[in-house]
Amino acid sequence: MFKRVLIANRGEIAVRIIRACQELDIETVAVYSAADANALHVQLADMACPIGPADASESYLNMAAILEAAKSSGADAIHPGYGFLSENADFAEQVTAAGMTWIGPLAETIRQVGDKDIARAAMVPSGIPMAKGSEPLTSNEMALTAARETGYPVILKPVAGGGGKGMFVAHQEEDLKNILQLADVTKTKFYFEHYIERSRHIEVQIVADNFGTVLHLGERECSLQRRNQKLLEESPSPALTHEMRKQVGLLAIQAAKSVHYTNIGTVEFLLDLSNNEFYFMEINPRIQVEHGVTEAVTGIDLVRTQIRLAAGEPLDFTQKDVTFTGHAIECRINAEDPDNNFLPSPGKITGWHAPGGPRIRFDSGFAAGLTIEPYYDSLIAKVVAHGRTRGDAIKIMQRAIREFQVDGIKTTIPLHKRILEDDYFRTGNIDTQFIKKRLPAYAHTHAKATLKDKMDQAAAINSSLYYA
């Protein structure tokens, strides 16, 4: 096992990794930018090393500075968390070349799944279903031709990268011509996929050791998104039958084996609601923001598992050992103003009261007196509720969100309150367009619902809710 691990990250995930290391009796090294000198992850770590100015490109993305911090602190492993350098194959190679262990999949695997064109090609021999797509585009003329061949509507995706960024949807050729004025396909590699109008975003947690064992830890429903960025996740998905759940788990294992995957990762699918078919999207070669949802329903600590696998230990459980208990929901709380197009809301936190109580998990890297910087991701906290049923989990989460008080900045807490009160959400009647379609209604939350609205939802609500 490792003696000392450097966490190449900040905020909530850095705190999460530090806590896992403490439980494994591993010393921790935090890195921090000039803006994060007083951050919680710096306070909790055994050691801390400055790595540069506030701008992420000069600090948390500064590979040379992080490697130097790891060497000078005597770290024998680096955990990248999520975001920043977590999917940078070159950095993973540099870590291993320096004689340290990379806590994640192999560099060649990161490179393979990071290129969506290569990743899709790797799935073909296994027969994993994929939406019709195109080759990487090299010109606007090729883009227009490829879109016609793929069939409208189409979604334009960058070949590299993840997190739902840089995507554009075109329902007709005129839309695409406008998009091509924003997205330069000659400078950034893009490709097309046929856009599934009504879909649910289903991802499967996978875990694999260095000895050929690949398991899945169930699925997460991730359909509630804004700008292709997730807001709320839950497990199990209310959309899946037992057979569908079994099917998507096997598909995820198959996909992982197709790229010889090791460590922790996530295989993402779209569920086409027109035919209930799954279509492969991508593999994320890292721990996910929403990993706590899976930990709640399985009882398996994913970060500790990551570390043990990286240290060369085999998995100490089988697929039959993986059991699922209850229902878990996670609300991502961001420093954003949902009533103003989710505009970021940096600033000093003047008041902070975190939720607690039975069946609530609270993960954050912030507290009263700390500052939300404009340089980094807007995520400030994650709240996970674990109930006996989906309805039970919703009620627990509602209580927790009411308790969560943040002063000094705008947050998405009010939006989450509206979502949890929404009859359509409470019945599980959701898809990837849910937020886009329902957001206008949230601006009129005091408007009276009609009798028909109430009657249409009553039966489903009664069957899904358990009032604890």
Are residues 189 and 40 located together in one domain of the fold?
A: no
> In this structure, what CATH number is given to the domain that contains residue 31?
3.40.50.20
Report the range out of 170-184, 372-386, 442-456 with the highest average pLDDT: 372-386
pLDDT confidence band for 391 (50 / 70 / 90):
very high
Question: Across the strands, what pairs with 192?
Answer: 156
Nearest C-alpha neighbor of 250 from the set 189, 171, 319: 319
Residue 167 domain-assigned (yes or no): yes
Q: Is residue 112 part of a domain?
A: no
179 and 319 both lie in a single domain = no
Asked if 221 and 238 touch (Cβ cutoff 8 Å), the reply is yes
Whether 358 shows a pLDDT value over 50: the answer reads: yes
Q: Is the pLDDT score of 165 beyond 70? A: no
113: in domain: no
Residue 58 pLDDT exceeds 80: yes
Q: What is the CATH number of the domain that holds 174?
A: 3.30.1490.20
Residues 248, 187 share a domain: no
The continuous run of DSSP H or E covering 376 comes out as none
CA–CA separation, 425 and 404 (whole Å): 21
Residue 226 CB contacts under 8 Å (≥ 6 apart), including other chains = 338, 342, 435, 436
Q: Averaged over 423-451, what is the pLDDT?
A: 79
**Residues 360, 331: Cα–Cα separation, whole Å:** 11
Q: Can you give the pLDDT at residue 143? A: 92
Domain with 459, as residue range(s), is 199-464
Orientation of helix 434-442 relative to helix 413-421, angle to 10°: 100
pLDDT tens-place string over residues 26-46: 999 999 999 999 999 999 999
Q: Give the CA diameter of the chain.
A: 68
- pLDDT exceeds cutoff 80 at 468: no
Mean of pLDDT values over 244-265:
97
362 DSSP β-pair partners: 383
Same domain as 460, residue 437: yes
- Domain stops at, among 147, 173, 194: 194
Report the alpha-carbon distance of residue 214 to residue 238 in Å, rounded: 25
Count of alpha carbons within 13 angstroms of residue 293, beta-carbon side: 28
* Mean pLDDT, residues 244-251 taken together: 97
Per-residue CA distances from 111 to 91, 103, 327 (Å): 11, 15, 34
How much is the average pLDDT of 18-30?
Answer: 98
Does 109 reside within a domain? no
Q: What is the pLDDT of residues 93-108, one digit of tens each?
A: 999 999 999 999 999 9
Out of 22-26, 134-138, 372-376, 414-418, pick the least confident: 134-138
CATH number of the domain encompassing residue 322: 3.30.470.20
**Residue 126 binned pLDDT confidence (cut-offs 50, 70, 90):** confident
Q: Where are the beta strands (DSSP E) in 123-165?
A: 154-158
Average pLDDT, the chain: 92
Give a yes or no: residue 83 inside a domain. yes
Domain-located, residue 148: yes
pLDDT at 162: 59
Percent of the chain residues past pLDDT 90, beyond the cut: 82
Does residue 200 register a pLDDT over 60?
yes
User: Which residue has better confidence, 175 or 458?
Assistant: 175
Model confidence at 159, pLDDT cuts 50, 70, 90, reads confident
Q: Which of 46-50, 56-60, 388-392, 463-467 has the lowest mean pLDDT?
A: 463-467
pLDDT of residue 182: 86
Residue 221 sits in the same domain as residue 173: no
Q: Which of 194, 213, 232 is the last residue of a domain?
A: 194
Q: What pLDDT, on a 0 to 100 scale, did the predictor assign at position 175?
A: 93
User: pLDDT tens, 294-339?
Assistant: 999 999 999 999 999 999 999 999 999 999 999 999 999 999 999 8
445, pLDDT greater than 80: no
Do 369 and 387 belong to one domain? yes
Q: Which of 145, 176, 194 is the last residue of a domain?
A: 194
Would residue 386 count as lying in a domain? yes
Q: Are residues 307 and 429 in the same domain?
A: yes
Same domain, 343 and 374: yes
- Residue 442: pLDDT band with limits 50, 70, 90: confident
Number of domains comprising the chain: 3
Side-chain half-sphere CA neighbours of 356 within 13 A: 3
Domain match, 260 and 329 both: yes
Task: Judge if 144 and 248 occupy the same domain.
Answer: no
Eight-class DSSP state of 210:
T
pLDDT band, very low/low/confident/very high, at 197 (cuts 50, 70, 90): confident
- Match 């968390």 to its residue by tokens: 81
Cα→Cα distances 146→139, 159, 168, 195, Å = 10, 15, 15, 13
User: Is residue 461 pLDDT above 90, yes or no?
Assistant: no
Question: Would you say residue 400 lies in a domain?
Answer: yes
Pair 155, 85 in one domain: no
Task: Say which residues have a Cβ less than 8 Å from residue 225's Cβ, sequence separation at least 6.
Answer: 164, 201, 231, 432, 435
Identify the band that residue 163 occupies on the pLDDT scale cut at 50, 70 and 90: low
Q: 221 and 79 in one domain?
A: no
Inter-residue contact 376 to 57 (CB < 8 Å): no
pLDDT for the residue numbered 455: 41
328 vs 40: CA distance, rounded Å: 26
Q: Write out the catalytic residue numbers.
A: 286
Using a 10 angstrom Cβ sphere, with 0-12 exposed, 13-18 middle and 19 or more buried, the burial of residue 210 is: middle
For 118, residues 6+ apart whose C-beta sits below 8 A from its C-beta are 112
**Average pLDDT of 42-55?**
98
pLDDT at 410: 97
